[in-house]
Amino acid sequence: MANYQWYPGHMTKAKRMMQENMKLIDLVIELLDARVPLSSRNPDIDALGKNKSRIILLNKSDLADPRKNKNWIEYFTEKGFHVLEINSKTGAGIKSIHGVVQTACKEKIERDRKRGILNRPVRAMVVGIPNVGKSTFINSFAGKACTKTGNKPGVTKGKQWIRLNKNLELLDTPGILWPKFDDQRVGLHLAMIGSMNDEIIHLDELAYDLIDFLRAEYAGQFEKRYEIDILEEQDAYEIIKSVCIRKKCFLKGEELDIMKASTMIVDDFRNGKLGKITLEMP
């Protein structure tokens, strides 16, 4: 398996800023990629967000395996999170979030009520690793109706809040954390879904790793897409050669264009053309 790594230099600054922002909010909304829920989360968020209400949104759930989405929902629910499947691009699942916010923050709303504070909106922050779709989500969730509420007394200057309705305000700086590469598979999974710069990745090696996974878990979908039969004794390279022949990926003459086929396989996976696929299980 090839080695995938990634070191943005501004992690500590982002983490410090998030610690500051945590003091202002009641609720953490964490966005994950449903195809790789563990690889697309940073475990620090549990420490940073402790004592806050927590919602996990499995984004791009339409690209993931529906059966495995259910397994992941059970997994996170058992850990005490409120979980929803969404698709920020189409808006699927977005409307249900408001109800879940009320449930997740029930105790806080109750506490306010006992103190005579009525209708104070829940304040939330959206967090996630880069490329998991935070901006698309915020735009989709806030919709056209969002009004930025300026600098109120007691709110740190420069912090912008987006008022979603009378019950919910969103801090306008999405919290960015970086994935933790403790396990080699994390880098591999993030490379597969396109969360890393393709220029630093060998797409042919990535395609071999992807094929090895798909033949074990989703062989039928792969065979159907490329109209080939995967034989027991074929390795990933042999399979790519079959795809080249079937899809007419040739360089000059009869030479097989392995790079073209590799890129096609990776793109087809990322765009959902290989069907609904989840790369990891709880």
* Residues pairing with 176 in the sheet: 128
User: pLDDT value at position 155?
Assistant: 47
Confidence of residue 2 (pLDDT cuts 50, 70, 90): low
Stronger pLDDT, 63 or 2, i.e. the higher one? 63
Find the angle CA(83)-CA(84)-CA(85) to the nearest 5 degrees: 135
Q: What does the pLDDT look like over 141-174, one tens digit per residue? A: 988 655 555 545 444 456 789 999 889 999 988 8
Residue 135 has pLDDT above 50, yes or no: yes
Return the SS3 of 265: helix
User: pLDDT value at position 174?
Assistant: 81
Compute the average pLDDT of residues 8-33. Answer: 88
Rg (CA), the chain: 22
Q: What does the pLDDT look like over 82-113, one tens digit per residue? A: 999 999 999 999 999 999 999 999 999 999 99
Q: What does the pLDDT look like over 221-241, one tens digit per residue? A: 999 999 999 999 999 999 999
Sign of CA dihedral 167, 142, 93, 214: negative
Longest pairwise C-alpha distance within the chain:
80
What is the residue-averaged pLDDT of the chain? 90
